[in-house]
Amino acid sequence: MEQRVLFLSFSSLLLLSFSGSVDAYKNYTVGDSLGWYDTTVKSNVDYQKWADGKNFSLGDFLIFNTDNNHSVVQTYNFTTYKLCDYDNSVDNDTVEWSSANPSNTLTQGATVAVPLLKEGPNYFFSGDYDGEQCDNGQHFKITVSHGKGLPDSLKDPSDQAPAPNAADYDSTPDTVVPFDFNNPHDQDTDVKKDSGSLSLYGKFLDMKLNGILLLLGIVYMF
Ligand SMILES: *[C@@H]1O[C@H](CO)[C@@H](O)[C@H](O)[C@H]1NC(C)=O
Ligand SMILES: *[C@@H]1O[C@H](CO)[C@@H](O)[C@H](O)[C@H]1NC(C)=O
Ligand SMILES: *[C@@H]1O[C@H](CO)[C@@H](O)[C@H](O)[C@H]1NC(C)=O
Ligand SMILES: *[C@@H]1O[C@H](CO)[C@@H](O)[C@H](O)[C@H]1NC(C)=O
Ligand SMILES: *[C@@H]1O[C@H](CO)[C@@H](O)[C@H](O)[C@H]1NC(C)=O
């Protein structure tokens, strides 16, 4: 649960920093104004009908407006969906997005935003009350297409790390200069020293600049 909260805050942070590119992705409010309920609460919900007219792509969000007596389970596993069975689901293909414990007496509103992270069939249902609400119409299937692909903000950070040595792949190997026994003090030495001190100076400048920028940032914050 904590991981999920961490992930959510992490993604919203990233979303904020990439907000310029988010416009291309869509947010769909599940059931529109009816929200996300079973047929004993709202007799006229038909989520499959709601979903069938729409094209969903990677990076879109489904927004579920519901209460804490209903949950949002997202699964890629047809068996889990078919059986309305969150309790026996496998961890790696099923996520429950709402964290509140179901309450029969004290209900309060809840809005759950679920990102579409995987192409192909995605299934949604309420996992509360042993699948009772799912059996009562609270379920639907969508097919997610590639679209523009996932925005950086939703990519798994571990997928983004460059492959080891990826940057070196095309670079030419360092030329090996054999040591000259007859002339150990080769002419390059002075040049190397110079460029060394130059780049040191550059680094120093860089650090100074960064320090100034940091200071400016701190001053700006107050
Ligand atoms: C879509 O929903 C997500 C999650 O709530 C939010 O961060 C994002 O800003 C929304 N995007 C749009 C275009 O409304
Ligand atoms: C969904 O995609 C199909 C085929 O690409 C297109 O014909 C249809 O108009 C789209 N529907 C919506 C609601 O965008
Ligand atoms: C789907 O979930 C069921 C439990 O509901 C599990 O037994 C099965 O192995 C899962 N299928 C895959 C492909 O992981
Ligand atoms: C999920 O885990 C099961 C074993 O518990 C494994 O057979 C299956 O390949 C895994 N699926 C994915 C998508 O990693
Ligand atoms: C909570 O959900 C259960 C199962 O759908 C239902 O029987 C009960 O009446 C609901 N409680 C409230 C307060 O809506």
**196 vs 51, 64, 114, 147, 176, CA distance in Å?**
63, 59, 52, 49, 19
Comparison of pLDDT for 210 and 49, the residue scoring more: 49
Same domain, residue pair 148 and 190: no
At 106-134, the pLDDT tens digits run: 889 999 999 999 999 999 999 999 999 99
Domains contained in the chain, number: 2
Q: Is residue 12 in a domain?
A: no
Q: Where are the alpha helices (DSSP H) in the chain?
A: 2-17, 47-52, 78-82, 132-135, 157-160, 188-221
- Measured in angstroms, how far is the CA atom of residue 113 from the centroid of ligand 5? 22
Ligand 2 site, residue 103, Cβ cutoff 6 A:
no
Same domain, residue pair 123 and 208: no
- Containing structural domain, residue 201: 186-222
Pocket test for ligand 5, best of 68, 104, 106, 126 (most atoms within 8 A of CB): 104
Which pTM does this prediction carry?
0.69
SS3 47: helix
Same domain, residue pair 81 and 29: yes
Nearest CA to ligand 4 atom 6: 92
At 83-102, the pLDDT tens digits run: 999 999 998 999 999 867 77
At 140-168, the pLDDT tens digits run: 999 999 999 999 999 987 765 554 444 44
At 20-79, the pLDDT tens digits run: 444 489 999 999 999 999 999 999 999 999 999 899 999 999 999 999 999 999 999 999
**168 vs 147, 162, 171, CA distance in Å?**
32, 11, 5
Looking at residue 2, its pLDDT comes to: 52
Same domain, residue pair 129 and 204: no
Ligand 3 site, residue 89, Cβ cutoff 6 A:
yes
Ligand 2 site, residue 55, Cβ cutoff 6 A:
yes
- Measured in angstroms, how far is the CA atom of residue 115 from the centroid of ligand 4? 21
**Confidence class for position 194, pLDDT limits 50, 70, 90:** very low
Q: Is residue 181 in a domain?
A: no
The residues pairing with 94 across neighbouring beta strands, listed in sequence order, are 75
